[in-house]
Structure 1
Amino acid sequence: MKKEPSFITFASRKGGAGKTAFTVPTAGILHNCRKYNVAVVDCDPPRHSIGSAEKRKKHSMTNLM
């Protein structure tokens, strides 16, 4: 039986509503704990919050080593 993909969206026109704060841990839980294949798409062209968060995380991890 073929499974259909599911889509989860966190959306708000207001900045600072917590879209990234909900998206990143939700994707992590679905992938790491539930073993789902996950794709995250950041559709916030002025900010690209998820990409910026990943760069900050890599930078901070490099500084710790």
Structure 2
Amino acid sequence: MFFFFGLIIIAIGLLNIIKPSFAWYIKEGWKVNGDSEPSDSYLALTRFSGIFAIVIGCIIMFVGS
């Protein structure tokens, strides 16, 4: 169970690193109808949180087993 949960967290982290604007479009983008874009600082923090999520996912996978 922990292995699967860790894989989900790693997948979310990879999505945040590869496509950081996706989370913004899911959360805020639908409200503005394409008239706005995420800031550079938001994209940087989203990438950083992706790295953090991957680390946490790996810890959950290996320690939770």
Name whichever structure is richer in helix by fraction. Answer: 2
Q: TM-score if structure 2 supplies the norm length?
A: 0.32
Q: TM-score if structure 1 supplies the norm length?
A: 0.32
Structure with more relative contact order (C-alpha pairs < 8 Å, separation 6 or more): 2
